[in-house]
Amino acid sequence: MRGRVKNILFIMCDQLRWDYLSCYGHPTLATPHIDGLAARGVRFTRAYVQSPICGPSRMSFYTGRYMQSHGSNWNGIPLKVGELTMGDYLRPLGVATVLVGKTHMAADREGMSRLGIDPTSIIGVRVSECGFDPYERDDGLHARGPDGGYDGHQPRYNQYLNAKGYPGDNPWHDFANAAQGEGNALASGWAMRNARKPARVEEEDSETPYMTRRAMEFIDESGQKPWCLHLSYIKPHWPYIAPAPYNDMYSAAEVIAPVRSESERVDPHPVFREFMTHRVSHAFARDEVRHEVVPVYMGLIKQIDDQMGALFRFLEQRGLFDNTLVVFTSDHGDYLGDHWLGEKEFFHEPSVKIPLIIYDPDADATRGSVCDELVEAIDLAPTFLDALGADPADQSHRLEGRSLMPLLRGRAAPAWRPYTISEYDYSIQPAAADLGVAPRDARLFMIADKRWKLIHAVGFRPMLFDLVNDPRELRDLGTDPACEPERARLSAALAQWGLRLSQRQTRSEQQIVAMRGKAERRGILIGVWDENDIPAELWSGYLGGAK
């Protein structure tokens, strides 16, 4: 039944840890505006991404499908043409599905060429952008090196900065992501020792407020037309650098201690061990680095929270909280030195768990509540369909997630999923080469329930954590004989998942049922000896030379 939801505001941060918001318990980082959304909505405490890295995680959000299903296994690996995305599902409902910010989509240009799709056509642009219409496309990483630029797109943001008086051909780096160094030198945000220096832009000209304003502009331009706006911030993702006053709003004293133990470095799982040798892991193992970087990471989150304040006031003024589903989430976390790791890309909670807050204008029964069910990034696409009055079951041959609406609206608790799954492909990491693992075998799977988390590494022993008795995940029980039953149970569940139906995307469950007996009514008579074996109607159909 269609409720009041007309629009969807799908806000995503990048690399925002689940526990760096005060509503999720951060002791020194106050995020009152995001907390305020949680007070009006439902806050999920067990929300997991389907891959703890930008591109694959986002492709799962946008397609509603596991990484093994959509095949975009790492940043820069194109989502193959033909995969359906949010836009494909929502646009037929009359909902403009629009992007402001980042998707980390790589277009399947080879596939488009093979199928004769012009990349500049409307269809081509959508295929190239996860199904979104790009109101403002900006992946937020306009890096350049000896081999050229990382991102082929020239962002409108650079033009904006130029117009505001920040010169050069890449003010994204030279101003928004760099500080003033000694003399005339730049202190680049790429060097973490510069993290606490102020970026060379006015706060209002930095990326987060800019994108917030762009979202507001889109909303105002939309008038009464329904929309799904994906407002997708690059921050608090690195480069870790912030404009004043966010650059020095927090001190090292406010940084929470890393979750790590010397015991983790004793005979670790081989893949985990390799990840601990990455440069970024070594860096975050140093207090010096954490004390410089984490305060700025917190400042970037604080800036987002302040922008959420501005955005929510804007929505309030226009009455949009009456008819807009608002989602606040992240694409993965950031180890920040926990477990002797930097970045994300492994399956401890700081990496794979995300904040997820959903405000639903129709969900009065659950306002301010907390949901502890296992939910997944792939649940958003079916949730959006459901919120807009479409039946996500009609798409269950494509969408592998589940609508969160029963949880949001406090309906009689359905049998919810018993496990959550996440995946990571480390074939592009040094770890694969160092371990001698072929690209196609450099795959990790996580399966977790509310108590146990198993990490399956193809070709290696598993890892196992007891999330109840060891919530900080410091003790790998992957070889503990006493835990064999849990490992066997989770391995069997993962095996069952692996054999799931995921590619029959051209026929729905309902269409399958409708196909039964259909061929016989079109003359395909199998196993018939004579006229007595079937109804006369079937028999006479073709004999009379019917059309």
Distance between CA atoms of 525 and 199, rounded to whole angstroms? 75
- Is the Cβ of residue 306 or residue 486 nearer to its own copies in the bound state? 486
- Is the Cβ of residue 15 or residue 208 nearer to its own copies in the bound state? 15
Segment interacting with its own copies (CB under 8 A) among 93-101, 141-149, 377-385, 403-411:
141-149
- Tell me which of 30, 39, 77, 125 binds its own copies, using CB under 8 A: 77
List CB contacts of 28: < 8 A, sequence separation 6 or more. 250, 254, 255, 256, 298
Residue 24 corresponds to which amino acid? Y
Any contact of residue 140 with its own copies (CB under 8 A)? no
- Is the Cβ of residue 57 or residue 68 nearer to its own copies in the bound state? 68
Any contact of residue 68 with its own copies (CB under 8 A)? yes
Any contact of residue 74 with its own copies (CB under 8 A)? yes
- Residue 200, SS3 per DSSP: coil
Any contact of residue 273 with its own copies (CB under 8 A)? no
Any contact of residue 491 with its own copies (CB under 8 A)? yes
DSSP 247-289: GGSS-GGGSPPP---GGGGSS--HHHHHHHTSHHHHHHTSHHH
- Tell me which of 27, 116, 436, 481 binds its own copies, using CB under 8 A: 116
Any contact of residue 139 with its own copies (CB under 8 A)? no
Distance between CA atoms of 145 and 474, rounded to whole angstroms? 38
- What residues numbered 199-238 form the site for its own copies, per CB under 8 A? 238
Phi and psi at residue 152, to the nearest 5°: -70, -20
Segment interacting with its own copies (CB under 8 A) among 23-31, 65-73, 211-219, 257-265:
65-73
For tokens 């072929």, what's the residue? 438
How many binding residues for its own copies (CB under 8 A)?
A: 120
Any contact of residue 141 with its own copies (CB under 8 A)? yes
- What residues numbered 20-49 form the site for its own copies, per CB under 8 A? none
Tokens of 435: 């371990």
- What residues numbered 237-256 form the site for its own copies, per CB under 8 A? 238
Any contact of residue 528 with its own copies (CB under 8 A)? yes
Segment interacting with its own copies (CB under 8 A) among 75-83, 96-104, 202-210, 259-267:
75-83
Q: Locate all alpha helices (DSSP H) within 164-268, ordered by sequence.
A: 171, 207-222
List CB contacts of 98: < 8 A, sequence separation 6 or more. 132, 133, 134, 135, 218, 227, 228, 229, 230
Residue 417 Cβ, how far from its own copies at the closest point, in Å? 15
Up-side HSE of residue 254: CA atoms within 13 Å toward CB? 17
Any contact of residue 117 with its own copies (CB under 8 A)? yes
Any contact of residue 460 with its own copies (CB under 8 A)? no
CB 245 within 8 A of CB 251: no
- Is the Cβ of residue 73 or residue 307 nearer to its own copies in the bound state? 73
- Is the Cβ of residue 77 or residue 310 nearer to its own copies in the bound state? 77
Phi and psi at residue 187, to the nearest 5°: -110, 95
- Is the Cβ of residue 249 or residue 283 nearer to its own copies in the bound state? 283
Is the alpha carbon torsion for 76, 404, 12, 340 positive or negative?
negative
Residue 316 Cβ, how far from its own copies at the closest point, in Å? 37
Any contact of residue 529 with its own copies (CB under 8 A)? yes
- Tell me which of 4, 279, 313, 451 binds its own copies, using CB under 8 A: 279
- What residues numbered 289-308 form the site for its own copies, per CB under 8 A? 289
Q: From the CB of residue 449, how many other CB atoms can be counted at a distance below 10 Å? A: 18
For tokens 């951060």, what's the residue? 26
